[in-house]
């Protein structure tokens, strides 16, 4: 009788498996594909500095202490030189540092870096669902004769078949050409004028988040190259991240331009979003 009881207790008291997914963060000091202003190459250093600033603490709003050992690992910055194409430098560095079940957070750089980041994600996971938050659709077939322009990464990603599905949010610069491109590739565009905090998305399969800092209103994030009024408040964007669900393989935080910042407010916002991304990826392993 005692034995049976013990047995039944042990059969229901299963070991709680803690899903332990180390997040690998990689700085990307690259801005040579910027069309208007340089500066995002300086972002990784400034975001690290703001993350460690004693003016705040390391907790994400979910209650996770992001400074706790094992939560994330700083893999340093991608090294660039004239011998190797920028895209290869990025995708190879990701593949050297990120192994399943690691999740990637890439930070810094202009938006051209998302193409090689997605190339690496594709090689690791196959086509992924992408949630792209930006003032701009970045779908130009060709911009100023540069196929790698920061205005074109999502055209390249779609041509290569790296995206299973692309949802764009926060868009407020949709011109005729990019509307045509969105239709051509079946992009789901949620323009800022149509956005509501009630919107939810369900993504089937691996998911990647690409966050361009200029999605946020320039009143909240002046440290970007392209000031496009009418964007998200900091709170709206943080809440959007907190309400997302999915099997996250990675995320990027791009287009922070320290040369345009005022008193480091955008650096602190980038560091805050970085902490929220860590919280969000930790809650959503794949
Ligand atoms: Mn962009
Ligand atoms: Mn943008």
What distance in angstroms lies between residue 47's CA and the mean position of ligand 1's atoms?
18
What distance in angstroms lies between residue 138's CA and the mean position of ligand 2's atoms?
7
Q: Which two tokens stand for residue 43?
A: 């972002």
pLDDT of residue 102: 95
* Residues forming beta bridges with residue 251, ordered by sequence position: 105, 209
What distance in angstroms lies between residue 135's CA and the mean position of ligand 2's atoms?
5
pLDDT of residue 20: 57
90 to 44, 45, 87, 258: CA distances (angstroms): 14, 17, 5, 21
Q: Which two tokens stand for residue 123?
A: 């090689």
What distance in angstroms lies between residue 227's CA and the mean position of ligand 2's atoms?
9
Which ligand is located closest to the Cα atom of residue 154? 1
Q: What's the rounded Cα separation, in Å, for the pair 150 and 30?
A: 11
What distance in angstroms lies between residue 91's CA and the mean position of ligand 1's atoms?
19
What distance in angstroms lies between residue 111's CA and the mean position of ligand 1's atoms?
5
pLDDT averaged over 10-residue windows placed end to end, the chain, 286 residues: 41 44 93 96 98 97 95 97 97 95 97 98 97 98 96 98 98 98 98 96 95 98 98 97 95 98 98 97 93
What distance in angstroms lies between residue 254's CA and the mean position of ligand 2's atoms?
9
């Amino acid at each position: 009788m005692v034995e049976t009881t013990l047995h039944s207790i042990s059969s229901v008291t299963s070991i709680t498996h803690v899903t332990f997914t180390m997040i690998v963060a990689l700085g990307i000091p690259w801005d040579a594909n910027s069309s208007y202003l340089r500066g995002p190459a300086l972002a990784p250093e400034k975001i690290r500095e703001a993350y460690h600033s004693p003016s705040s603490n390391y907790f994400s709003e979910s209650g996770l202490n992001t400074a706790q050992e094992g939560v994330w690992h700083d893999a340093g910055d991608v090294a660039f030189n004239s011998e190797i194409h920028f895209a290869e430098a990025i995708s190879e560095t990701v593949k050297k540092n990120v192994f399943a079940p690691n999740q990637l957070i890439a930070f810094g750089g202009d938006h051209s870096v998302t193409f090689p980041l997605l190339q690496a994600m594709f090689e690791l996971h196959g086509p992924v669902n992408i949630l792209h938050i930006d003032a701009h659709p970045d779908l130009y077939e060709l911009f100023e004769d540069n196929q790698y322009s920061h205005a074109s990464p999502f055209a390249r990603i779609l041509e290569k078949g790296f995206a299973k599905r692309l949802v764009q949010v926060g868009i407020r610069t949709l011109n005729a050409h990019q509307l045509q491109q969105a239709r051509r590739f079946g992009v789901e565009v949620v323009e800022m004028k149509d956005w509501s905090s009630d919107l939810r998305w369900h993504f089937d399969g691996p998911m990647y988040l690409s966050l361009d800092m200029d999605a946020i209103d320039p009143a909240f994030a002046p440290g970007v190259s392209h000031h496009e009024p009418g964007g998200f408040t900091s709170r709206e964007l943080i809440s959007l991240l907190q309400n997302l669900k999915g099997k996250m393989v990675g995320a990027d935080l791009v287009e922070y331009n320290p040369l345009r910042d005022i008193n480091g407010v955008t650096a602190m916002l980038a560091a805050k979003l970085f902490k929220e991304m860590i919280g969000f990826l930790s809650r959503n392993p794949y």
